Amino acid sequence: MERRVFMEEKRYLKWYNKVGYGSGDIAGNVVYALLAAFVMIYLTDIIGLNAGIVGTLIAISKIFDGISDVFFGAMIDKTKTKMGKARPWMLYGYFGCAVCLAAIFCIPVDMGSTAQYAWFFIAYTLLNAGFYTANNIAYSSLTALITKNNSERVQMGSIRFMFAFGTSMLIQAVTVGFVAKLGGGAAAWRTVAIIYAIIGVISNTVSVLSVRELSDEELSEGKKDDEAQEKYNLIDAFKILVHNKYFLMICGAYLLMQLYSATLGMGIYFMKYVLGTDRLFGTFSWAINIPMIVGLLITPILVARLNGMYKLNIVGYVIGTAGRLGVVIAGYMGSIPIMLFFTAVAAFGMSPLQGDMNALIATTSEYTRLTTGKKVDGTMYSCTSFGTKVGGGLGTAIAGWMLAASGYVQNAATQSQSCVNMLYIMYLWLPMIFNVLITFILVNLNVEKANKELQSQ
């Protein structure tokens, strides 16, 4: 009976709507991948700033990020325009993203160091706490606003993250060589950042224009929501979120996922000073992103076969954790081929959660509606922005602190043994630990079962 209902569920999107929506993550990952993988080495080795101070500035910036996520989520929920609730924020927010991204990589080399730190902090905070927040929450919340079909939501998530990991792979693979071909130095980084920002603006605009939001009546199955449901302030929205245990679990998982990605992004230091060349960073990027994309392709099929996301996500992360353990062992063996193999295994295992995360958040938002009677889709999707910015930012900050504590010397031919030991911890041990913690969260994150029990009452 359940299978027939699933097959007959109304469809809202054509293939080009899903692909168009997914292409929006080219824009998001132009920002995220460039910052996660290269901002620290740009600031330390090109501008000459101290890694520990940069890490501290990033950490302070995250305080503003934590406040802005719920604020923009609540604002999206209250927005009513001809374009809908989320699309205006997604469209206009990205222009600010592009300007700030370029500004971060346009720090004048002849300024005093205090002015350089201030320049970076202002541009980085405006980008993350302001424009990227508005754009990313709006983009993620569209999953719940353009379709009510859970199968389509999973497909959208898989397509979205195929674009995301494809973009990350290309940026990580080509940026070092691209900068070198442009002559290296600050001017080359500035040119690359501007080119990436323009690409982001184009892909974001295409994504916005590829879909339309459903009306409030259609989202509510033809029944107008009680006006009282919309009358809640920022504090009310925050209370709604923190009383949803599944939201807190997703926030924790998303945060750890981005910490994981950020520590892998710092792998450029490991490649340069342990494996001998930073060009290997691109090779490892292929080993991560190709298996991830393959896994995303089959995630919708697996979710349909298993009639849900819960078991698939757990099994995937068990594989992912085992894969990272293999990377640790191979790293100490000094075998690059075995490291690449287990890197690919880990990425493939982690792909289902990436593909169905947006659908999982939509299901969690439905749990809030069932338990409180309130629709807070935009606020609910603040966890994606929170996790991406705070997790990615803290991961980069932690890496900066660890580098500074280990005695890292900018552009040295070789690093001290204490620094090399720290690089092993950063690139090998931390990602595996993060995966263990995520697996533990997923075991307890069965929101699908909770919704079925509430709907049967």
Q: Give the pLDDT mean for 378-383.
A: 70
Q: Examine the domain organization and report whether 209 and 241 are in the same domain.
A: no
Does the pLDDT at position 4 exceed 70?
no
pLDDT tens digit sequence for 272-326: 899 988 888 889 989 998 999 899 889 989 988 888 899 999 999 999 999 999 9
Which candidate, 411, 419, 53, 50, places its Cα nearest to that of 270?
419
pLDDT tens digit sequence for 388-428: 667 777 888 888 899 999 999 887 888 999 999 999 999 99
φ and ψ at residue 15, rounded to 5 degrees: -60, -35
pTM score of the predicted model: 0.74
Q: Examine the domain organization and report whether 93 and 214 are in the same domain.
A: yes
Q: Examine the domain organization and report whether 141 and 256 are in the same domain.
A: no
CATH of the domain at 84: 1.20.1250.20
Domain membership of residue 375 (yes or no) is: yes
Residues constituting the chain: 457
Does the pLDDT at position 3 exceed 50?
no
Dihedral angle computed from the Cα positions of residues 190, 193, 195 and 201, in that order, rounded to the nearest 10 degrees: -140
Indicate the DSSP class of residue 273.
I
What is the C-alpha to C-alpha distance for residues 69 and 11, in angstroms, rounded to an integer? Answer: 31
Q: Examine the domain organization and report whether 351 and 211 are in the same domain.
A: no
Q: Examine the domain organization and report whether 178 and 248 are in the same domain.
A: no
pLDDT of residue 5: 41
Domain membership of residue 28 (yes or no) is: yes
**DSSP assignment of 283-327:** HHHHHHHHHHHHHHHHHHHHHHHHTSSHHHHHHHHHHHHHHHHHH
pLDDT of residue 6: 40
Q: Which of 190, 219, 248 is the last residue of a domain?
A: 219
Residue linked to tokens 């590829």 = 210
Q: Examine the domain organization and report whether 346 and 382 are in the same domain.
A: yes
Domain membership of residue 226 (yes or no) is: no
Domain membership of residue 403 (yes or no) is: yes
Does the pLDDT at position 435 exceed 60?
yes
Domain membership of residue 313 (yes or no) is: yes
Does the pLDDT at position 172 exceed 70?
yes
Q: Examine the domain organization and report whether 153 and 265 are in the same domain.
A: no
Domain membership of residue 111 (yes or no) is: yes
Considering its fold, how many domains does the chain have in total?
A: 2
* Domain encompassing residue 287: 233-456
Domain membership of residue 22 (yes or no) is: yes
Q: Which of 162, 184, 219 is the last residue of a domain?
A: 219
Q: Examine the domain organization and report whether 174 and 318 are in the same domain.
A: no
Q: Give the pLDDT mean for 92-102.
A: 97
Q: Examine the domain organization and report whether 238 and 212 are in the same domain.
A: no
345: three-class secondary structure by DSSP: helix
Does the pLDDT at position 430 exceed 80?
yes
Terminal CA-CA length for the chain: 19
Q: Examine the domain organization and report whether 323 and 437 are in the same domain.
A: yes
Indicate the DSSP class of residue 275.
I
User: Burial, 282: exposed, middle or buried (Cβ in 10 Å; 0-12, 13-18, 19+)?
Assistant: buried
Q: Which of 162, 195, 219 is the last residue of a domain?
A: 219
Q: Examine the domain organization and report whether 395 and 259 are in the same domain.
A: yes
What is the C-alpha to C-alpha distance for residues 68 and 75, in angstroms, rounded to an integer? Answer: 10
Q: Give the pLDDT mean for 426-438.
A: 96
pLDDT of residue 278: 83
Q: Give the pLDDT mean for 221-236.
A: 55
Domain membership of residue 225 (yes or no) is: no
Q: Examine the domain organization and report whether 53 and 194 are in the same domain.
A: yes
Q: Give the pLDDT mean for 228-239.
A: 62
Could you tell me if 257 and 439 are in contact, meaning their C-beta atoms sit under 8 angstroms apart? no
